[in-house]
């Protein structure tokens, strides 16, 4: 079963450092999403790709955040100059635009702690 | 704008008892509706979804949910809870237009007591 995978699963960093997370979607899925989840809250949308094109970015995605999806396969989410407020679970999801309704399948997440 | 409300932050239920988790949504039309479950430190697992048709939908692990348009609700139920059902449950809505992101409620934490 090749579900959505994310690496690393956990990351501890010091304030001001840069971090990069990777997401590998389900292989036939052309849509990929990033969400952020803080303690006690539901996931909040950050950004979404269709193939390699980044089609929407949330206002939550400050200039310190950048996401890429080269060749429409895996995606990376980079946070520059991390702040303590960036501590959260970062979730990736993928789906297939086969027409009509679609379901997003989530990876296990990357938990970030900024000290 | 769409939004989801899960009125119950925390529910405690005895093993073998029934469970109902509430979800209310706000959206201009009928959205796509989902329930996900999250175990501690894990990602989200899809329990069930409603797109159209029969308003009572069955999911995995013995869960079901009923869409009630008049009440803008999509409540999740399970007749008999197992200890392994202890987790956090999220209701989500996805629009039917060209805007594919999900909007989640704040979640309900379920504790199962022996």
pLDDT on residue B31:
83
B103: chain A residues, CB-CB within 8 Å: 45
User: Residue A45: pLDDT above 80?
Assistant: yes
pLDDT on residue B95:
66
- Count of A-B CB contacts under 8 Å: 61
pLDDT digits (tens, 9 = 90+) for A3-23: 999 999 999 999 999 999 999
pLDDT digits (tens, 9 = 90+) for B2-34: 789 999 999 999 999 999 999 999 887 778 999
Token readout for B36 is 């996900």
For chain A, list residues whose CB is within 8 angstroms of any CB belonging to chain B. Answer: 4, 6, 31, 33, 35, 40-45, 48, 56, 91, 93, 95, 100-109, 111
pLDDT digits (tens, 9 = 90+) for B32-54: 999 999 998 888 999 999 988 89
pLDDT on residue B96:
64
Q: Scan residues 70-99 of B and list those with Cβ closer than 8 Å to A.
A: 90, 92, 94, 96, 99
Calpha distance B95→B44 (Å, rounded): 19
Q: In what order do the strands lie in the sheet with A5-7?
A: A5-7, A19-24, A75-79, A65-68
In three-state secondary structure terms, B36 is: strand
Calpha distance A89→A87 (Å, rounded): 7
Is the Cβ pair A103, B49 closer than 8 Å?
yes
pLDDT digits (tens, 9 = 90+) for B56-81: 999 999 999 999 999 999 999 999 99
More confident residue, B9 or B1: B9
């Amino acid at each position: 079963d090749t579900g959505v995978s994310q690496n690393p699963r956990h990351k501890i960093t010091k304030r001001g450092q840069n971090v990069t997370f990777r997401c590998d979607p389900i292989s036939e899925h052309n849509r990929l999403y990033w969400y952020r989840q803080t303690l006690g809250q539901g996931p909040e949308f950050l950004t979404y790709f269709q193939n390699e094109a980044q089609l929407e970015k949330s206002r939550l995605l400050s200039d310190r955040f950048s996401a890429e999806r080269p060749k429409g396969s895996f995606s990376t989410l980079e946070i520059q100059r991390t702040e303590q407020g960036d501590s959260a679970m970062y979730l990736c999801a993928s789906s297939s635009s086969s027409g009509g309704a679609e379901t997003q399948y989530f990876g296990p997440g990357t938990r970030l702690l900024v000290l | 704008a769409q939004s989801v409300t899960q009125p119950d932050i925390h529910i405690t239920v005895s093993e073998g008892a029934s469970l109902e988790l509430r979800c209310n949504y706000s959206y201009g039309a009928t959205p796509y509706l989902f329930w996900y479950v999250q175990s501690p430190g894990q990602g989200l697992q899809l329990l069930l979804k409603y797109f159209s048709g029969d308003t009572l939908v069955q999911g995995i692990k013995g869960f079901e949910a009923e869409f009630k348009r008049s009440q803008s609700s999509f409540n999740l139920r399970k007749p008999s809870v197992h200890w392994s059902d202890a987790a956090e449950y999220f209701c989500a809505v996805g629009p039917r237009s060209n805007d594919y992101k999900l909007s989640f409620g704040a979640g309900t934490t379920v504790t199962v007591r022996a």
